Structure 1
């Protein structure tokens, strides 16, 4: 019988932080605090107003600083976007790592928990607004395309790790294909069941369907009936 997230949940639900930053050796300087303030302001603008509104001048105004002070920390908009998306995906990686190292939990349960976390996060305003806009921008902006591809490659890494645990017999390419399929399937729900979308109230049911399907697919992929 396939595991469902409801059956495997053994601890409190975890909410992904908006941003996560690396530990700072030698203390937490004013410069570090300023950079994080800038990134938080940039994310607020990105969620509320969109990528086009997230100009360097707009971010500087939101931080109540001069443009020159902002460019001291982030010389270009690309530098700002690169570090912002890094802080976004790092927050997910921290939570994924918790699931991957849970003692006494089967690989199927880990897969269920990772997918459950992602599907619940889809219902947040941040995820529903930011990621579809980045997808659209990536069709026309090479820099955004590279950042989005890097972000999702990092997001698929824990899926690949747990798939290898479930199916150590699979080739690296098969593992990568399964991780890509699972990731794409979950992300596709954003436009239908994300924050304030028509089918958001059905997300718990969709989550159960998705997780059962993913576990069954990983278990049976490439095997004859």
Structure 2
């Protein structure tokens, strides 16, 4: 199973009901993630996930009535796992803002080398070109991923406008995500991550200081 944050999916709390139902929902989402990573989005049908989970199709639809419900729940669990990691960095009162940004960037750049991240996110980018549903999920996912950068930037550069903070956060996020195709799991230049990470992080700090 996953090596990065996706190894600890943040499951939504149960809204009452039996603990067994919560366990089943968690098992379904874990199975859906496995199929998504190993076989791709097109393979992640309701029937395929039910088979992977070892439950009846009707049992799966009891918990997730549609494919969109299942995908929404899975993405929420994935995004929540990342947000939990980001919160540990952003909310560290003993670390200077620039060092918090370094930690955030190093975390993200290291994570792109996991098999899960390399397999899932580029597929989402491609699907978003043709699926409004996936495009909405992607937009929300990256909005939430940029939120910690914005918090750090507000501390680093309180003199900038909010639009200035937004632009810098977008620049930092987009630049790191673009490295996936070159430095991700199994990619041609994956062994250069350490050197390029140092270059990129210091380039971000320089750009922020000059903005």
TM-score range, shorter chain: over 0.9
- CA 1:49–1:106 in structure 2 vs 1: closer, same or farther (change >3 Å)? same
With normalisation by structure 2, the TM-score equals 0.95
Q: Which one has the bigger helix percentage?
A: 2
Q: Partners of 2:99 and 2:23 in 1: how far apart?
A: 38
Asked if the contact 2:50/2:56 (under 8 Å) is kept, the reply is: yes
Residue in structure 2 matching 1:149, options 120, 125, 139: 139
Q: Is 2:90 the partner of 1:104?
A: no
Q: Which has the higher contact order (CA 8 A, sep 6+)?
A: 1
Q: Partners of 2:155 and 2:12 in 1: how far apart?
A: 28
Q: Partners of 2:181 and 2:135 in 1: how far apart?
A: 19
Question: Which consecutive segments of 4 or more residues in structure 1 shift more than 6 A?
Answer: 25-28
Give the stretch that moved more between structures: 210-219 or 43-52.
Answer: 210-219
Other structure's SS at 2:139 match: helix
Other structure's SS at 1:168 match: coil
Q: Partners of 1:103 and 1:81 in 2: how far apart?
A: 35
Q: Partners of 2:204 and 2:18 in 1: how far apart?
A: 42
Deviation of 1:25 after TM superposition, in Å, equals: 7.4
Number of positions where the alignment pairs a residue of Structure 1 with one of Structure 2: 208
Q: CA RMSD in A?
A: 1.6
Asked if the contact 2:101/2:152 (under 8 Å) is kept, the reply is: yes
Equivalent in the alignment of 1:203: 193
- CA 1:57–1:209 in structure 2 vs 1: closer, same or farther (change >3 Å)? same
Asked if the contact 2:168/2:208 (under 8 Å) is kept, the reply is: yes
Give the stretch that moved more between structures: 82-91 or 14-23.
Answer: 14-23
Deviation of 1:21 after TM superposition, in Å, equals: 1.8
Equivalent in the alignment of 1:10: none
Equivalent in the alignment of 2:60: 70
Deviation of 1:215 after TM superposition, in Å, equals: 1.1
Q: Partners of 1:25 and 1:208 in 2: how far apart?
A: 44
Equivalent in the alignment of 2:103: 113
Other structure's SS at 1:217 match: helix
Provide structure 2 residue ranges, at least 5 long, that are not aligned to the other structure: none
